[in-house]
Amino acid sequence: MRTKSNFNGDDHLYLQVAEGLEKMIAEEVLRIGDKLPSVRMLSEDYGISMGTAFQAYYHLEGRGLIESRPKSGYYVRFNHRRFPDLPNTIQPEALSHDVSVKEMINSIYTDIAAKEITNFALAVPDASLLPSAKLNKSVVYALRNTKDHCVNYELTQGNLELRQQIAKLAFNWGGKVKPDEVIVTSGCLEAIMMCLKAVAVYGDTVAVESPTYFGINQAIESLGLKVVEISTDPVLGADLVYLEKAIKKFRIKACVFVPSFNNPLGSCMPDDNKKKLVEIITKHNIPLIEDDIYGELYFGKNRPRTCKYYDTKGLVMYCSSLSKSLTPGYRIGWTIPGKFLEQVKQMKRIQNISSPTLTQAAMAHFLKNGRYEFHLKNLRKALHTQSLRYVQAIIKYFPADTKVSRPHGGFILWLELNKKVNAFKLRTEAMKHHISIVPGKIFSAGNNYSNCIRISFGKPWNKEVDEGLMLLGNIIKGMIH
Amino acid sequence: MRTKSNFNGDDHLYLQVAEGLEKMIAEEVLRIGDKLPSVRMLSEDYGISMGTAFQAYYHLEGRGLIESRPKSGYYVRFNHRRFPDLPNTIQPEALSHDVSVKEMINSIYTDIAAKEITNFALAVPDASLLPSAKLNKSVVYALRNTKDHCVNYELTQGNLELRQQIAKLAFNWGGKVKPDEVIVTSGCLEAIMMCLKAVAVYGDTVAVESPTYFGINQAIESLGLKVVEISTDPVLGADLVYLEKAIKKFRIKACVFVPSFNNPLGSCMPDDNKKKLVEIITKHNIPLIEDDIYGELYFGKNRPRTCKYYDTKGLVMYCSSLSKSLTPGYRIGWTIPGKFLEQVKQMKRIQNISSPTLTQAAMAHFLKNGRYEFHLKNLRKALHTQSLRYVQAIIKYFPADTKVSRPHGGFILWLELNKKVNAFKLRTEAMKHHISIVPGKIFSAGNNYSNCIRISFGKPWNKEVDEGLMLLGNIIKGMIH
């Protein structure tokens, strides 16, 4: 325990405490993700008032070094000594073109099966972060308590209780949604696919962010649609001026955007931009398919709003799922497709009649009992800590010119590497060492991002991850020289 | 117990016994589905030799009145007194045209939810015929014994153990299939949809049977494909001469046929015709999407072969599921798409990445333990009996000019009513009495079958079914006069 004698005057006491803590962070005595003492403990420890202790934390928080987490206290957030630059925004060729990314993606999903791989490629939270025991309980409950033990078809639109729970989830982003407005799907990608089919036909043009999730590009290609890529900023999301220009140039029939914690950039469009985006698409009467799959995985105090929140004309077709936040294997997604409800329901019926009865009933039970909200609180904290640990390792192991995104949610990092690096070769090389990453090129229909990679930080920090990133860093260093 | 004195000479003994039994059937002392005494009991009962008893049953079997069921004995099969005519074969307009059946079908699936309805519309076996307790056990087993309790994505191609079991099922129709050739889907319709997407593009023309399952027509329409309807016989299935003519006239890019126990006709294409069909499509290099969803539900002694059995060039894309034979609610289907394997796998990935992990693992366990084969034996018997009971009631309650299909498998009857009957009006009228049927018009893209209806006999015979069919008969009688 220290005494007041360490300090030279009450006015700067909080600054001195803060500086002391900052030094400990810089020297990694306090590491990213570590919990700081409570305000009361700090005050007792340094022999300062509670107010001064609070001021010290407030100061450090303002500098981005620590953060408060609701009902939990303060945590080390970042070590600013060598913060890498952000990846560049690319202005994609302003031409609509056929998507052709098929060949490139085929190899990625085979990683699912590989067991001995350090998988930075698959964008899912690690199974250890998922509440499988409680999920099991909900399955057994559903088996016992659903009519005919779930052997019958569920409604095409989906289990009513599950839709009630999904409608309730919309409260989180300020939405007022009725269960009748929701359609349950087999994952978010199916929801996007069906929304696309409901509003666009062969040969139509669709706007997407650049870079964007390759599944979206593939869905568009498979329907014979063309794509216009909209320049997207790693912090602010899609460039709305660029979008308006594209709308003037092309007959855009729909937009498919991931406004919150975009995959792969991690960018989160500010609420004002979301509002503006909805104004633009409303003015031009263009449906917006909003992929909000990462929306609940925010690291900040508040959940970001959705575009759907600002929708007045039923043009926003909201899509989400539990695959990124609870369980990929259950394949539970949904859409709230506004005025296109009947068309999308029709598409669901034609595709596979309905989603499985059992998994829907189980999820309804899980959500109804507040287990999802409880789980999310823990998951957000874990992912936030993981994001910081991963970035720190990248700073440590990767070349100094590596540029890294700063996601405030989700579990994906976007890295822009030295121009000499061919990310496809990097992937091949890394796979020889049983490490998988996703090359950036597949996130665009054009010939962009060939020196970019996506890294998932869904896996909790451990020795394997540390060694994996070190190895990856070394491979990259070798490719530059 | 009777004595030998009842009979006039040994030569005709068996005939006399047979005639006695026939009279009892005609007078409905012995009703359809009733079990007859064993050969030993008959011999003791009538005081005749075992051989004579056997001859009597053999004679009645030859006349189609009774049937032997393997390891079970003899059953009353039919009352021939007033056997109705078969529905007519229609020669559909030999023009390819856009499908437009959407509006007509919307109302049908809403019946799933309705609880107080006597549902002759939904083509599924009644839940009471499904082994839900054993299915539950397999689910619990899968939860406990699958890696990470099924929270992770399954492979796009599907659970390996399940694919092994599906490959084993192919033995039943003589197929030699490797697990690597199978792709698991969310039901058979999804399999058909993905096969179609793999081999046809917007604007292409596809051949289907007429009438055919409306889901097939909708899948075709939703992909922007055109359709050519092939005349189909209620007994022999698709008219192959007609098909060859159509191939000459149109650029047919694929066929989608239901060769065994076609929905709605119930026709089963003889094996020789299947062979011929495969020869035709092979000659013209046209992929055949074979929907074999009813294949396991045969009433005879042997499972019908499949077209896939005769396939030498990988052109037959076999599709099936467990929805009609085990559990619709689990949404487990599959395809064995021959040389189009990679394309179809790609489509599955784009649509919904993979099917749920849990339901696949549960089905793998269920099949592996021989529970499916055991269940099928019981289900086939039950459905056969139900088919006969339903037909008998239709003969009894419906107008004499009603024509009825004679399915030898599945659980669907196709009825051609008096030309005065508008089946859409009949459906509306029947729904007022809480009875649902499917009007025939939706089984064709053209303007056919307006006086036809489809009735499912998936529901075990009971008072409600009896009264429902009586009421339906009365409504039809009212519409004729």
Selected residue of A108, A147, A183, A353 to mutate for chain B interface (largest B Cβ count, 10 A): A353
> Do A356 and B359 make contact, defined as CB atoms within 8 angstroms?
yes
Give the CA distances from residue A467 to residues A28, A389, A393, A462, A474, in Å, rounded to whole numbers and listed in that order.
19, 13, 10, 9, 10
ipTM of the complex: 0.84
In DSSP terms, A75 is beta-bridged to A35, A67
User: In sequence order, which residues have a C-beta less than 8 Å from that of residue B469 and are 6 or more positions away?
Assistant: B390, B393, B394, B397, B398
Selected residue of A101, A153, A226 to mutate for chain B interface (largest B Cβ count, 10 A): A153
Of A139, A156, A358, the CB nearest to B109: A156
Decide which of B236 and B95 is more confident: B236
pLDDT exceeds cutoff 80 at B1: no
> Do B352 and A150 make contact, defined as CB atoms within 8 angstroms?
no
Per-residue pLDDT tens digits for B352-363: 999 999 999 999
In DSSP terms, B435 is beta-bridged to B118
* Helix axes A188-199 and B341-352, enclosed angle (nearest 10): 90
Q: How far apart are CA A361 and CA A363, in angstroms?
A: 5
The 8-class DSSP code of residue A128 comes to G
Q: How far is A351 from chain B (nearest CA, A)?
A: 5
Selected residue of A126, A130, A146, A151 to mutate for chain B interface (largest B Cβ count, 10 A): A151
The 8-class DSSP code of residue A34 comes to P
Per-residue pLDDT tens digits for A105-140: 766 666 555 667 888 988 889 999 999 999 999 999
Q: Contact at 8 Å (CB) between B135 and B366?
A: yes
**The tokens of A417 are what?**
């590497």
> Do B329 and A154 make contact, defined as CB atoms within 8 angstroms?
yes
Bridge pairing between strands A435-436 and A118-119: parallel
Per-residue pLDDT tens digits for B262-273: 999 999 999 999
Per-residue pLDDT tens digits for B203-230: 999 999 999 999 999 999 899 999 999 9
> Do A352 and B154 make contact, defined as CB atoms within 8 angstroms?
no
Q: Contact at 8 Å (CB) between A308 and A290?
A: yes
Nearest CA in chain A to B154: A329
Per-residue pLDDT tens digits for B436-446: 999 998 898 87
List of E strands, B215-357: 226-233, 237-238, 252-257, 288-291, 316-321, 333-336
* Helix axes A371-397 and A463-480, enclosed angle (nearest 10): 40
Q: How far apart are CA B266 and CA B383, in angstroms?
A: 13
Region of residue A242 (left: phi > 0; alpha: psi -120 to 50; beta: else): alpha
- pLDDT for position A76: 86
Q: How does pLDDT run along chain A (481 residues), one tens digit per residue? A: 444 444 444 557 888 888 888 888 887 788 888 889 888 888 888 888 888 888 888 888 876 788 888 778 888 877 655 567 778 877 765 444 444 456 567 666 665 556 678 889 888 899 999 999 999 999 999 999 999 999 999 999 999 999 999 999 999 999 999 999 999 999 999 999 999 999 999 999 999 999 999 999 999 999 999 999 999 998 899 999 999 999 999 999 999 999 999 999 999 999 999 999 999 999 999 999 999 999 999 998 899 999 999 999 999 999 999 999 999 999 999 999 999 999 999 999 999 999 999 999 999 999 999 999 999 999 999 999 899 889 989 988 999 999 999 899 999 999 999 999 999 899 989 999 999 999 998 898 877 899 999 999 999 999 999 999 999 999 999 999 8
Of A143, A189, A327, the CB nearest to B139: A143
Which residues of B are less than 8 Å from A149 in CB distance?
A: 132-133, 135-136
To which H or E segment does residue B169 belong? helix B160-169
Domains of chain B (ranges, CATH numbers): 4-81 (1.10.10.10), 100-127+374-480 (3.90.1150.10), 132-373 (3.40.640.10)
Q: What is the pTM of this model?
A: 0.85
Mean pLDDT, all residues of chain B: 89
The 8-class DSSP code of residue B35 comes to B
Question: How many other C-beta atoms lie within 10 A of the C-beta of residue B378?
Answer: 11
Three-state SS at A232? strand
Which residues of B are less than 8 Å from A112 in CB distance?
A: 152-153, 155-156
Q: State whether the Cα torsion B213-B215-B218-B220 is positive or negative.
A: negative
